[in-house]
Structure 1
Amino acid sequence: MVFLSAKRLLYRCLPASLFCLLLLSCQESGKKKKFWGKEEETKEEIAIPASFTADSVRKLGHQLDSVFKHFHKRRGFNGTVLVTKYDQVVYKGAFGMADFYKKDSLTVETAFQLASVSKQFTAMAIMMLKEDGELRYEDSVQQYFPEFPYHGITIRQLLTHQSGLSNYTYFSDKLWPDRNKNLTNQDVINLMVAHQPRPYYKPNVRFDYSNTGYSLLASIVEKVSKKSFATFLRERIFEPLEMKNTFTYSPDVATLTGKIATGHTRFRQKRTSDYLDTVLGDKGIYSNVEDLYKWDQALYTQKLVSKETLKEAFTGGILNKKKKQEEDYGFGWRLKPLENGDTAVYHGGLWHGFSTYLLRNPKEHSALIILSNLPNGSFSYLQEIRKFLYPPHPDSVAQNQKLAARTRR
């Protein structure tokens, strides 16, 4: 049986009179709707192949369940997973403990620190302010912080990691006087103004991954919006998208009740927070796989920004790239060729006991979301998972059968 969309199933089940009323309503709703003062068009449509049936969905779900059970049992994977194809969730699961000391089990509702997967939300905040006419990508950092000592750095260069700035997580270890006092984004700027740590490169020379750059972007969001970064994200992204289990880090996070994972060392010892956790923009967002699915789906609409603005976020901007097949970087997203020839946008993260990964294949509206609170090297299987989901030859199932068979040993 060919898998039908929810809309098509609904139409089949409606009486003729109700169908006519619904059709008139849809014609009216075909006009653009308002979302946070912006115009929202209907969700981007995609052709679903006849081979994507209810049976194929069930089969893929069973295969993925076997694969991740194998990774949990044999490779120590501890975390949650959600996989989609053609906008439909085909698999989600939870494996292991949210807290090994308390013996709390993980669920798909458990929130994890996203680490550098947070960067895509920072980039979105900047893009939203750009669409609001509040800033330009070519603005210099000095336009927002006149005392900033490094000249020639633009917002675009911060977004694409081409500022050349040194890493605040390193120079703060030397320059921050009291490790018991939390570091803030403004403190990072103050340290740079007072001590002027030497940059790694001149701006706009080469790609050099920069947490400092994304902490500065969060500060620019605060300066322009006149709101805290956490408040801006909550009001403009999390609440409109009904991401009810997504929030930013604060010193009170340890006292929150609810399903929140604890970060661990590779030896399952609890990882405690430190003075760097309170810097936001480069990290610091907590979320779960179900909320990240909502985020993924929103990126096929214009609820947050226009298609034109979002397209630039997924366009590579690395200078002096030597090979066409090399990875690239947009605004908070890495760009990677997949084994089947499609181009994925993705990001990974690693911070204080958490490992995270979010990959999207816009061509087929699919996603792979993996969150872990035990960075024990178990993410080394990601290449195998990508080949499983996106085999080099789509008409051949040999790769899938090989991996699935291995899990039964």
Structure 2
Amino acid sequence: MASLFCLSLLSCQESKKEDQSGNVSSEEQEDTRQRVAVPASFTPAKAERLSNQLDSIFTKLHKRNGFNGTVLVTKYDQVIYKGAFGYADFYRKDTLTTETAFQLASVSKQFTAMAIMMLKEQGKLRYDDSVQQYIPTFPYKGITIRQLLTHRSGLSNYTYFSDQLWPDRNKAITNEDVLNLMAVHKPRPYYEPNTHFNYSNTGYALLASIVTKASGMPFPVFMQKHIFGPLKMRNTFTYSENATALTGKVATGHTGRRQKRTTDYLDTVLGDKGLFSTVEDLYKWDQALYTQKLVKRKTLEEAFTGTRTEKRKKEDYGFGWRILPLESGDTVVYHAGLWHGYTTYLLRNPKDHSALIVLSNLPNGSLRHLKELRSFLYPPQPDNGAEANQTKNANARL
């Protein structure tokens, strides 16, 4: 079921300090906030119409395509639409809400990158430091923190080599265990460092270990103390068997046939995945990125700057974010995730301070329509009369 929030932009603005007080902790932070002007054409009536259109789209995705999950959409920093469809657990028939936590899968990477950026600002590491400065047993020379952030390390995927090297899949494997496997067995890299972009879960697992070494505290403790706590992300946490067993608060991962996914020995490796959060908390995260509460604006800009040096592709990659120019002329940053029964998606458009956040615990292909949904929210440069057909065309595709 879906619910509408903040139809009136005026009332949203008046209530923001009360409702979103966790996002801004001082007048100074509010003064340095990146702001965007709301055009006169975006009236409360237009916001309500957009909300109704989104409700129609997601209701159709739920009923006809089997979408099961939660969604939150913003524009000009305000929540235009949010909804929850289906069940947190198909066996128990627990109804989802927008406060249900989901495993974020690779959407976790942007948080790991933020932890690295914070430590860089604190002077506890540099991007061009070698991995061996923090992990002396690391057997590969010439790999830097920057290369881990930008997927240019060339390292092989720990989720594959662990299947061959870990002796007991009934025993959970940790980040430290992955480091030990690499030190002892030296799995062959895919490429020499800094020669190719090659998406690497191993790289982000290593970054979580570097956060631990550089900060002097466990990765989950650092994330809670420096990110989740300050942003009042009360339903966001790192993986643990106890946390994911909370009835009614955490969505269960399922197969495409609605069978419950069991936990896996790889679930306990953090950094590349392993965070749980809600669409409500991810909205707080989105809003915090328009402030300097976590890092300075100049530091954050590098996370949204492309790094791929090969022949230019349509997409680029920064620090934990994919960078995509749209046919609308806008450039968005986003990340998607897929892990053990969860599919996730978080997109931000800095031009109009909008966001699309979708979390699902049923990977049945229903989210293959995200491209069409993106085109609906950010239509290509329109021909005459195109805007009038926008909703009709979107519903025809979705």
Normalised TM-score (structure 1): 0.89
Report how far residue 259 of structure 1 moved.
1.4
Query: What residue is the counterpart of 2:358 in the other structure?
Result: 370
Residue deviations 1:253-298, cap 9 Å, x none?
Answer: 3432441100000000000111100000000000000000000000
Query: What residue is the counterpart of 1:135 in the other structure?
Result: 125
2:252 is equivalent to residue 262 of structure 1: yes
Report how far residue 252 of structure 1 moved.
1.9
Contact 2:57 2:395 in 1 (8 A): no
Query: What residue is the counterpart of 1:23 in the other structure?
Result: none
Counterparts of 2:290 and 2:149, CA distance in 1: 21
Q: Which amino acid aligns with 2:264?
A: D
2:333 is equivalent to residue 333 of structure 1: no
Query: What residue is the counterpart of 1:156 in the other structure?
Result: 146
Contact 2:373 2:394 in 1 (8 A): no
Report how far residue 398 of structure 1 moved.
3.9
Counterparts of 1:255 and 1:369, CA distance in 2: 24
Change (3 A) 1:117 1:79: same
Counting only pairs closer than 5 Å after superposition, residues 199-348 of structure 1 correspond to structure 2 as 199-323=189-313, 326-348=314-336
> Unaligned 5+ residue runs, structure 2?
1-6, 17-25
Q: Tell me whether 244-253 or 132-141 shows the greater mean CA deviation.
A: 244-253
Query: What residue is the counterpart of 2:107 in the other structure?
Result: 117
Report how far residue 145 of structure 1 moved.
1.1
Change (3 A) 1:248 1:9: closer
2:62 is equivalent to residue 72 of structure 1: yes
Counterparts of 2:392 and 2:228, CA distance in 1: 40
2:179 aligned to 189, 196, 199, which one?
189
Change (3 A) 1:294 1:148: same
Residue deviations 1:63-93, cap 9 Å, x none?
Answer: 0000000011111111100000000100000
Counterparts of 1:405 and 1:73, CA distance in 2: 13
1:390 aligned to 369, 372, 378, which one?
378
Report how far residue 146 of structure 1 moved.
1.4
Query: What residue is the counterpart of 2:23 in the other structure?
Result: none
Report how far residue 41 of structure 1 moved.
4.3
Residue deviations 1:372-394, cap 9 Å, x none?
Answer: 00001111101110111001125
Change (3 A) 1:222 1:2: closer
Residue deviations 1:128-154, cap 9 Å, x none?
Answer: 000000000000001011121111000
Report how far residue 405 of structure 1 moved.
5.2
Contact 2:329 2:381 in 1 (8 A): no
2:119 is equivalent to residue 105 of structure 1: no
Counterparts of 1:251 and 1:341, CA distance in 2: 44
Report how far residue 6 of structure 1 moved.
5.4
Contact 1:356 1:370 in 2 (8 A): yes
Report how far residue 319 of structure 1 moved.
1.8
2:38 is equivalent to residue 48 of structure 1: yes
Q: CA RMSD in A?
A: 2.0
> Unaligned 5+ residue runs, structure 1?
11-28, 34-39
Report how far residue 318 of structure 1 moved.
1.0
